[in-house]
Structure 1
Amino acid sequence: MTYKVSTGLRNQMLVTGSLRAALASGKIRIFSGSEPASADAAETGTLLCVIDKDGAGAGFSMDTTAVDGIVAKVVSDVLKGTNLATGTAGYYRHVGSADTGGVSTTEPRIQGRVSTSGAEMNLGSTSLVSGIEQPLDEYSINLPTF
């Protein structure tokens, strides 16, 4: 599994703050198709779903504690969204609260593949149907050993 991390997130982590702070009140966007070559590139494909806390549109934050280089969603938070379109999920982006989806080397982003197993984000099914609630029961980000 290999995440693609934006230049903006890498720079913030190196100089001004944490991954958790950079993505605070952010959202996860799930798209159809193949992921862009980098997390700095503009979003591609059809936006299928936007995931956040309680599906309320206000974003979510990661837990305040990391264990063994892994930070997870807050255990008590329910992450979900209502599918905006019907399609096959191919990739996702975890974005900061102000991200507009265009080309950027300053926006904090994590991008990865979506599948039913062996991907950066695994769902029960990659076939999403418009109007159906999409839960995300587990979500974590790991930072590999340097």
Structure 2
Amino acid sequence: MKKVERALISLTDKSGIEEFARALTDLGVEILSTGGTAKKMRDAGITVTDVSEFTGFPEMLNGRVKTRHQLVHGGILNQRENSDHQRQCKEHGIRDIDIVAVNLYAFEKTVADPDCSLADAIENIDIGGPTLLRASAKNFIDVTVIVDPVDNEQVLAE
């Protein structure tokens, strides 16, 4: 198995994230993250690189755009054994992202609340999370995808 260099972690359910991220950093893995997930890990003393720092492009539109960037998706989608992909990545400064740990906004829970407004419902439609998961699934040969914190230990064991 190739050495894991980088993990992107962006979670709604942050169960066990401190232990998982600490174990990854102990293995020399760089952690990329956004918003509340990054804050939770930093509060636990874990070194985190903001996705905006990684891409050189800020989060924008009140957090609606965080991870939709070529440096992120190129890092996930590039096939490590494809020499043309590797040439393009080198040319454009794209670095591999080997683990993607993402779970989606709790949309069903949000809209089940009788006090949920249309605006709240709209803001809980996840765009980046599903996109990251689909990109990771498309390149499952090279990228480990985690959607459930229960799987963190199994990933660490591998």
Shared fold (TM-score, shorter chain, > 0.5)? no
TM-score under structure 2 normalisation? Answer: 0.23
TM-score under structure 1 normalisation? Answer: 0.24
Q: Which has the higher contact order (CA 8 A, sep 6+)?
A: 1
Query: Per residue, is there more strand in 1 or in 2?
Result: 1
Query: Per residue, is there more helix in 1 or in 2?
Result: 2
